[in-house]
Structure 1
Amino acid sequence: MQLSPLVHPSEELSKEEISRYSRHLLIPDVGLEGQQRLKNSKVLVIGAGGLGSPTLLYLAAAGVGTLGIIDFDIVDESNLQRQVIHRQQDIGRPKCRSAQDSVKALNPYIQVRIHDERLETTNAIDIISDYDLVIDGTDNFSTRYLVNDACVLAGKPYVWGSIFRFEGQASVFWEDAPGGRGLNYRDLYPEPPPPEMAPSCAEGGVLGILCASIGAIMATEAIKLITGLGNTLLGRLAVYDALDMTFRFIPLRRAPVRTPITRLIDYQAFCGLPQSTTGGKPNVPTISALELKEMRDCSVAMQLIDVRGIQEWNIVHIEGANHIPKDRMMSEEVLARLNKDELIVLHCKMGVRSRDILMEMRKRGFTNVKSLDGGILAWIRDVDQTLPSY
């Protein structure tokens, strides 16, 4: 649906800005006033990863006056396959600072605010309230629901996108949209899927260039909201299949039964994720990579089981480990073959899937089970750097 411009025009453009944005100024529907709206806008991009990268670059190029970047992660080599805002020399740097440098190198006429922190219930509303528009490029459901609820409480519109393997989705949510036509993320997904049904890109993979397709849609929607151009994706879900090169647009309506959003909640618990005890460690028995190495060096009897998918196993695995994928691990046939009296050490990529399986095995009477803290990535980092990471 078409909406009124979100942002008032700034007072003027400099001579340099007029030259830089001249191709925008030549478009009658954008013109000088539209570019002044972009200059006066403040947009928060949550996540400087696969979707945040193209979104930030194109919003910077378009002349969005103030860009906020929130990300607490650091650049890893495996990010460079799709996170085009970062470079080889940025490996190990905070993503928000790497992204800031790229944005400023592209357009020195805009302001960049960095939030090198995790978005939490304690800071979300304060951060979001200072911007006109939010773009959510995160890859986990707990943060998506947090962003949604904080935007509802702060009265802010936001553009959302997600990607997985060859498919991407995008939409616009704004609970306070004019005319009582507002929607929020809970109208699309009233409840989160079970954790085991929501693999991340780190587990399931993603075609890198898909980020450019969905990121471009997200940046386009942001510009349309700021300037009042065209019909936005508010009330529609765009679904893109890169293999078939097809787009589908699914109408969205308010959920028939809606629970009013009046406060922020515990989103880890809401999404069914394991809760933490003091120190932030999951309440499951773990073993470090160095402890595992020492036990193996001492020939301690154990069953080392890799629960990752076959594609991950083929990339890299620990010598001597047994491969039993997560979807087979809890079958009665597999459990019957395991020795309950002997130590069982489970591992995956980072420790999330192995932790989930451990909790289920406890319910089946397995008490001598541990999860490799940090997964095979910790083993590569702390024990065997000759193995490839991913």
Structure 2
Amino acid sequence: MTSLPPLVVPSTEPLSPEELARYSRHLALPGIGIEGQQRLRAARVLVVGAGGLGSPALLYLAAAGVGTIGIVDDDRVEVSNLQRQVIHGGSDVGRSKVDSARDAIAEVNPHVTVRLHEQRLDAGNVLDVLAGYDLVLDGTDNFATRYLVGDAAEIAGIPCVWGSIFRFQGQVSVFWATPPGGEGVVYRDVFPEPPPPGTVPDCATGGVLGAMCGTIGSVMATEAVKLVTGAGRTLLGRLAVYDSLELTWRHLTVRADPQRVPVTGLLSGDQAYEAFCGLAPVPAGAGTARPAVAGGLFESLSGPTAEGRLAVDLAQVSEESGGRGLPGAGTVLGAPVRGPGVASSGPVGAPAGAGPAPTSLTPRELAARLADPDDDLLLLDVREDWETQIVGIDGARVVPSGVYAGPDARAALADLPRDRTVAVLCKVGGRSDRVAGLARAVGVDARNVEGGVLAWVRDVEPGRPTY
């Protein structure tokens, strides 16, 4: 696609002497100059997520002189964030991310107006949040929010700069349904359906190179500046894929799906986008959560589950999001799988009328059972090996959760005993709840350890390492 016209009308107020000095390196650039800087000052940019991608993007947007920056995030800063979320510091641990980011932006550029949206986006609030912004940057880490933001941006008619990172790879593009004078491409054109739940590990499980966030987040900020000022050629119609180990960039041409029905309204119902991604039961009366869409259209790559199959968008369902990244109803090996909070009907062979079998254990209940010499409970730790090296529970059988979603899932489930209770443990309870549900579906008395190993450390063995 050729260059786009500037997105934002320049402010009429002249740049102050201090601004002229601050932005002097911009003023010398063809395509930006004084008028482009005035466009940046008039711009209103929303950044969804003050995490790994949002951190560098926010800092560079502020340094560039974007006049109004909105920040959406409902999380608090944790120690494990500091490896990659560079807008936050050690003294910010425990603070809300939006407050921490606001203070960092004020240090970078006091001329920027910061609007805080300390909330989790959903179908009921996203359009109100996007209202009044010229474009949105999507730095989120879960599929449901990506589809939500993409749909809302299409309805609002504004461009969406999208980025994703996983391990040593990053991806970035620009989506816009109705660009002036050109063919639009949106997230659903490229990725019409999310991958099956559990098939793409999260950052906590698979890891991420912290510096990758700086690379991709900076590109996202660059694309935003180009959209605002009209400088250069944006990534609209292209998907850039970065491999940090090989230090290579690949560009895939993407195009609109002519069979896709334009989004004119958000999916309805409580947790509709989670249901669309298979992370919650379909809301009652909402019908199918998946709209009718055709395959994603790369120039040479396509498929109804391109995002998972091609591993191009390796965004994560974040386990740290309080268990919101859990699968809902589905099937495995031909048997029903229970969603979170839905009681199992009990192991195969349970006495009629016995009622639902327990589906979880608290850490203290687990400790009591492990201490009972007459209890033959099996503790199954579904974390990765590196996680168990930080902190674990003696006697656990370690089988990473990905095994239960891969080609060996049938054999792994068959290997679980039917005559013993199996307590399933992970970091905070997300992966373990999924595996426990799969195990119950094939007749295992499986119990999820509530809160995972972090709750075990908190309630049973204080002072042990956490991560």
Q: Check if 1:389 corresponds to 2:466.
A: yes
CA contact (8 A) 1:275 1:283 kept: no
Task: Give CA deviations for 1:228-265 in whole Å, capped at 9, x if unaligned.
Answer: 00000000000000000000111001124213212212
Q: Which amino acid aligns with 1:307?
A: V
Match of 2:342 among 274, 277, 283: 283
Match of 1:273 among 274, 279, 282: 279
What is the DSSP-based 3-state SS (H/G/I as helix, E as strand, rest coil) of the residue aligned with 2:6? coil
Unpaired segments of 5 or more residues in structure 2?
A: 284-322, 325-339, 344-358
Match of 1:310 among 385, 406, 426: 385
Q: Which structure has more helix as a fraction of its residues?
A: 1
CA contact (8 A) 2:428 2:455 kept: yes
C-alpha separation in 2, matches of 1:264 and 1:210: 32
TM-superposed deviation, 1:340: 2.2
C-alpha separation in 2, matches of 1:52 and 1:83: 8
Match of 1:79 among 75, 78, 81: 81
C-alpha separation in 2, matches of 1:144 and 1:282: 24
Q: Check if 1:378 corresponds to 2:455.
A: yes
Match of 1:356 among 412, 434, 438: 434
Stretch deviating more after TM superposition (112-121 or 282-291): 282-291
Q: Which amino acid aligns with 1:166?
A: F
Q: How much identity, in percent, do the aligned residues show?
A: 53
CA RMSD of aligned residues (A): 2.0
Stretch deviating more after TM superposition (337-346 or 5-14): 337-346
Aligned to 1:213: 215
Q: Which amino acid aligns with 2:236?
A: L
TM-superposed deviation, 1:158: 0.9
Q: 1:219 to 1:332 in 2, by over 3 A?
A: closer
C-alpha separation in 2, matches of 1:256 and 1:385: 57
CA contact (8 A) 1:274 1:282 kept: no
What is the DSSP-based 3-state SS (H/G/I as helix, E as strand, rest coil) of the residue aligned with 2:170? strand
Aligned to 1:296: 370
Aligned to 2:5: 4
Unpaired segments of 5 or more residues in structure 1?
A: none
Task: Give CA deviations for 1:40-74 in whole Å, capped at 9, x if unaligned.
Answer: 11100000000000000000000000110010111
Stretch deviating more after TM superposition (374-383 or 32-41): 374-383
Describe how 1:97-246 pairs up with structure 2 within 5 A: 97-246=99-248
Aligned to 2:419: 341
Q: 1:334 to 1:157 in 2, by over 3 A?
A: closer
TM-superposed deviation, 1:160: 0.1
C-alpha separation in 2, matches of 1:98 and 1:156: 27
CA contact (8 A) 2:276 2:282 kept: no
Given the two structures, how large is their TM-score scaled by the length of structure 1?
A: 0.94
Aligned to 2:443: 365
Aligned to 1:250: 252
C-alpha separation in 2, matches of 1:276 and 1:282: 14
C-alpha separation in 2, matches of 1:128 and 1:17: 28
Task: Give CA deviations for 1:61-110 in whole Å, capped at 9, x if unaligned.
Answer: 00000110010111111110000000001111111111111111111111
CA contact (8 A) 1:290 1:383 kept: yes
Q: 1:37 to 1:308 in 2, by over 3 A?
A: same
Stretch deviating more after TM superposition (254-263 or 72-81): 254-263
TM-superposed deviation, 1:288: 2.4
Q: 1:192 to 1:276 in 2, by over 3 A?
A: closer
CA contact (8 A) 2:31 2:229 kept: no
Describe how 1:257-268 pairs up with structure 2 within 5 A: 257-265=259-267, 266-268=272-274
What is the DSSP-based 3-state SS (H/G/I as helix, E as strand, rest coil) of the residue aligned with 1:177? coil
Q: 1:27 to 1:381 in 2, by over 3 A?
A: same
Task: Give CA deviations for 1:305-358 in whole Å, capped at 9, x if unaligned.
Answer: 101122222232122221122244574544444332322110112222111112
Number of aligned positions between the proteins: 388
C-alpha separation in 2, matches of 1:328 and 1:7: 49
C-alpha separation in 1, matches of 2:156 and 2:458: 42
